[in-house]
Structure formats: C-alpha cells, structure tokens
Amino acid sequence: MTTCVRCHKPLSDPNSVSAGMGPICAHAMIDRNSDVASREKFSDQFDTSIPFGKALVMERYPRPVDRDANLEIEVGGAITNVPHLVVHHSPDGFEFGYGGSGPADLALNACQLYLNMVQYSGQKTKCYDGNCWTLAWILHQDFKREFIAGANRKGAIIPFDTMARWFEANMTGQLLNQCAVESDELIEEE
C-alpha cells in the first residue's frame, strides 16, 4: 500500500499514488521540523495532469508579452508535476534548462519523490527546509545534469521508465550500503 509522503495516510487515487501524495497535502503547509518543506508559495506551478509515475513533466506558463520589445513569444516560470518535498538550493522554486539552483531543487525533489514511490528507506539529510533521503542528496546533482539542466527551456517530458533505468544504474550496492540506516540508529529512534 502506498502512503502519502507528507501525512503518511494510505493513497487510493491512481494520480495521488503516482504523485506520492494526496491533493490536500500537495498544497498544505507543514510543520517546519517535519521531513517535508513548510513553505507553500513558489514561483513555479504544480500540475498533476500527468502523474510523476508516468513521466517527469517540465513546462512553462505564458507571461504577458511586451509588445514594445518586439517579442513574439515570451515563456514564463516552470510548471512541473514534482511536489516541493524539501527546499535546499532555491527558496523561490523549481526551474529547468540550465544548471542553477532552481534546477538543483527540482532534481533533489524528483529524486526524493522517486525514492518515496519505490518505498526506499535509509539515512536522512537535513536540508534548508525539510529532510531528504541521503541517497536523494547524493544522486540529485547527477540527475540534474542528466535530465534537468539540458532540458529544452520551453519544456520537456522524461518518461518514468527512462528515469527508473537511470536510478537502477546509479543506485549501486556500495551506495545503498553507504546510505543504509545502521541498526543502532533504529534503536535510538524508537
């Protein structure tokens, strides 16, 4: 049974299962000391029309065009189907199409969401706002370079199977052992 990454309630709706959280939690403010980000306002927009379990969607919303600047088309901020689970690099929100802080946070959250969806369990790393899996932290910059930074600035769709193969290739046994929770840590938490 898949549960919400925020409230840990069971999920039954296929879109919620693919997104890793229910619609209420997708927009809810969470306690600052929790594993997820407390901030709820970002420059990007969250879109659930294509579940993350099918593909990573990176699109743009339109901005008003400045007719005096002779611009034919101006694209706006990012729209993704990745919820803000943690914030570390970019308090303003997600971006794509270059190698900056917004793309880094999109990659970190995509890695976190993928690991939540496959019910991964391991060590946690403190972020600026929220906590992520240490494995997500280790993988996110490579994920950014592979999928986010080089994406077309107008938008891109990365099939879930493509990402899953990338994770399978990059989640080596050595890396999984490095990020595993030690049995002593489990006892201390109980």
Per-residue pLDDT reduced to its tens digit, 36-85: 666 667 888 899 899 999 999 999 987 666 556 555 555 678 999 999 99
Residue 116 lies in a domain: yes
Q: Which residue has the tokens 């793309």?
A: 103
Run of H or E including 104: helix 101-117
Model confidence at 135: pLDDT above 80: yes
Residue 139 lies in a domain: yes
Which pLDDT band holds residue 117 (cuts at 50, 70, 90)? very high
Strands of the 156-159 sheet, one edge to the other: 45-46, 75-80, 55-62, 156-159
Percentage of residues in the chain having pLDDT higher than 70? 75
Please name the amino acid found at residue 180. A
**Whether residue 31 has pLDDT greater than 50:** no
Is 45:125 a contact under the CB 8 Å cutoff? no
Report which listed range, 10-24, 78-92, 156-170, 172-186, is most confident.
156-170
Among 28-32, 94-98, 158-162, 184-188, whose mean pLDDT is lowest?
28-32
Q: Is residue 165 part of a domain?
A: yes
Lowest mean pLDDT among 57-66, 98-107, 156-165: 57-66
| 77 domain residue, yes or no | yes
Amino acid at 21: M
Whole-angstrom Cα Rg for the chain: 17
Look at residue 108 and tell me if it is in a domain: yes
Residue 150 lies in a domain: yes
What beta strand segments (E) does 47-111 contain?
55-62, 75-80
Is 167 within the bounds of a domain?
A: yes
Return mean pLDDT, the chain.
Answer: 83
**Overall number of domains in the chain:** 1
Please enumerate in sequence order all residues whose Cβ is within 8 A of that of 28, keeping only pairs 6 or more positions apart, or say none: 6, 40
Q: Does the model's pTM come out above 0.85? A: no
Rounded to an integer, the average pLDDT of 82-96 is: 93
Q: Which amino acid is at 152?
A: N
Residue 160 belongs to what domain range?
A: 31-173
Residue 23 lies in a domain: no
Query: Nearest to residue 34, comparing CAs of 131, 109, 132?
Result: 131
pLDDT of residue 95: 96
Residues 30/6, Cβ–Cβ less than 8 Å: yes
Structure tokens at 60: 């743009």
